[in-house]
Amino acid sequence: MTATEDNALKLDPEEARRVRQERLEHIGKWVLPMAIMVLAIWFWDRICVWNGIPQYILPRPGVVLQTLHDDAGLLFSSLLVTLKITFLSLLLAVIGGVGLAVLFAQSKWVEMSFFPFAIVLQVTPIVAIFPLINIYINNQTTKLLLCAWIVAFFPILSNTTLGLNSVDRNLRDLFKLNGATRWQQLRYLRLPAAMPYFLGGLKIAGGLSLIGAVVAEFVAGAQGQSSGLASRIIEAGYRLNAPRLFAALILISLAGILIFLVLSLVSHLILRRWHESALKQER
């Protein structure tokens, strides 16, 4: 009838308001943080000018940007060193975390026996462990890797373990009914079921492995043994080279954001077809 046709064409005020609100929120989500950012940088610049703050205490944003450009060679090669440690340790964390989780999933007894030690490793601050590592391991890269790995592997281990254990009971019965072997159950049921949990852990571990790498470099860098971004920061601090310090800081921060975005994208691509977390809310 005409009534239904009208409904299809013209939205009532409430629905129209909702649509408008949604559109505004969508734009605001991007525009507002950008605006705040620009405003804050402008304010930072103004503070420097108004108070006549010297460059070695607080450089103006323009100067930081200039340093980023002038010292690009030095800073980016350092960034590369830090990223190498970050990715290697993330890779090892994935292998170690998933490997241990699969081992734990094979038997409750194994899990009961070893899980507490994983927690001990996790809750002991890495800065406190580092001097020990420093004594026992000579190779610089191995040292840093071990540190970053200890920090990053736990969220992957604990999330994957949780995922492997939260398989639907009926699905487990189905596999049993069809005479599935332990390996088949792992491959076709438990590993795919654990995927969303694993990816959640991976996102946390990505950030943590960068933190682990930077912290390890800090401790190592204090002894003048590292060439990563953290040691650039310490060096710049000693020399009162504040612009370079800021530039290095910005690079680390950007690397962290990039790692998070890439891992979020990977997670979305893998889960988008079936998992609730990757679906748009339906009305």
Partner 1 sequence: MIQEKVAQSTASGEGPMLLSLRNVGKAFSNGVTALSKVDLAIREGDFLSLLGPSGCGKSTALRLIAGLSTPTSGQLDWRGSIDRSKIGFVFQEPTLLPWASVFDNVWLPLRLKGVSRARAEPAVMEMLSRVHLNGFENAVPRELSGGMKMRVSIARAMVTKPRILLMDEPFAALDEITRFKLNNDLLELWQDERFTVVFVTHSVFESVFLSSRVVVMAARPGRVHGELAIEAPYPRDEAFRTSPDYAALCRQASDVLVNAINSTAGPHHDGH
Helix or strand (DSSP H, E) at 59: none
Confirm if 93 and 118 have CB atoms less than 8 A apart. no
In 3D space, the residue among 18, 4, 1 whose CA is nearest the CA of residue 283 turns out to be 18
Residue 14 vs 276, nearer CB to partner 1: 276
Inter-residue long-range contacts of 225-230, CB under 8 Å, 24+ positions, other chains counted? 225/140, 226/81, 226/140, 226/144, 227/77, 227/78, 227/81, 228/78, 228/81, 228/82, 228/85, 228/144, 229/75, 229/78, 229/79, 229/81, 229/82, 230/82
Q: Which of 23, 176, 239, 268 binds partner 1 (CB under 8 A)?
A: 176
Q: Is 180 in the site for partner 1 (CB under 8 A)?
A: yes
Query: Closest approach of Cβ 181 to partner 1, in Å?
Result: 8
Residue 9 lies near partner 1 (rule: CB under 8 A): no
Contact status: 277 vs partner 1 (CB under 8 A): no
- Taking the C-alpha atoms of residue 256 and residue 77, their distance in angstroms, rounded to an integer, is 17
- In whole angstroms, the minimum distance from the beta carbon of 281 to partner 1 comes to 14
Q: Compare residues 2 and 281 and give the one whose CB is closer to partner 1.
A: 281
Return the number of the residue (174 or 261) whose C-beta is nearest partner 1: 174
**Minimum distance, C-beta of residue 192 to partner 1, in the bound complex (Å):** 5
Site string for partner 1, 131-170 (x = CB under 8 A): -------------------------------------x-x
Residue (171 or 234) nearer to partner 1, CB? 171
Length of the chain as a residue count = 283
Distance CA 67, CA 260 (A): 26
Applying CB under 8 A, does 130 fall inside the site for partner 1?
no
Minimum separation from the CB atom of position 146 to partner 1 (A): 35
Per-residue binder mask for partner 1 (CB under 8 A), 193-232, x = binder: --x-------------------------------------
What's the angle, vertex CA 155, arms to CA 136 and CA 96, rounded to 5? 50
Which region among 46-54, 65-73, 75-83, 182-190 touches partner 1 (by CB under 8 A)?
Answer: 182-190
Q: Which residue has the tokens 């710049």?
A: 236
Quote the CA–CA distance of 109 and 105 in Å, as a whole number. Answer: 9
Rg of the chain over all Cα atoms, to the nearest angstrom:
25
**Cβ at position 199, least distance to partner 1 in Å:** 12
Interface pick for partner 1 out of 10, 29, 273, 283 (rule CB under 8 A) = 273
- Min CB(90)–partner 1 separation in Å: 24
Give the residue from 229, 189, 204 showing the smallest Cα distance to 68.
Answer: 229
Q: Where does this chain bind partner 1 (CB under 8 A)?
A: 168, 170-171, 173-180, 184, 188-189, 192, 195, 273-275, 279
